[in-house]
Structure 1
Amino acid sequence: MLHAIPVPAIIMSTDLQIIDVNAPFEAAVARRRATLLDRPLFDEFPPRPVPTPRTSKRRSAPRSRARWPRGRPTRWSRAGMTS
């Protein structure tokens, strides 16, 4: 039944051992089924490190600057931005 599901799916035991995965899951994680089976989930997919305030600010500043069209507005109003 798992292999008939068209979206990525995984079956794990109660202690988070990988029991089975389907083909869309293999494609999504770019890993072969045989290398995942009977392995602890967090050994195969370690959690990402939590960003510190300093690193998250560095990453978000260029994105927020790119939103402004040439310079900053001089005044804000309830109806929107005015200059």
Structure 2
Amino acid sequence: MTLNSDEREILRRVAASPEPVAATDFFYEIHPPEKEWSRRQVGLYEALVRLKKLNLLRIVHPANGERPDLVEATPEAAVVLG
């Protein structure tokens, strides 16, 4: 399975977390705010959706209006990350 660099970086960071995490918390670290931030942020959200569709991330605690979804990597993610 081929992941783009944003998908791989999100997945790597979520997989490294010892507990469920808001993947969106990593967006500023992956692409610090700059001139093209809005375009890159949309790309990161698209990467997050694709990782979920590929069953590489699962939602552990759905968003509740105060915080975003908390996710964790699935066993399939470890295979993809190698």
Shorter-chain TM-score range = under 0.3
Higher share in strand: 1
Give the TM-score, by structure 1 length: 0.22
- Give the number of the structure whose alpha-carbon radius of gyration is greater: 1
Which is bigger in relative contact order (C-alpha 8 A, separation at least 6)?
2
Higher share in helix: 2
Give the TM-score, by structure 2 length: 0.22
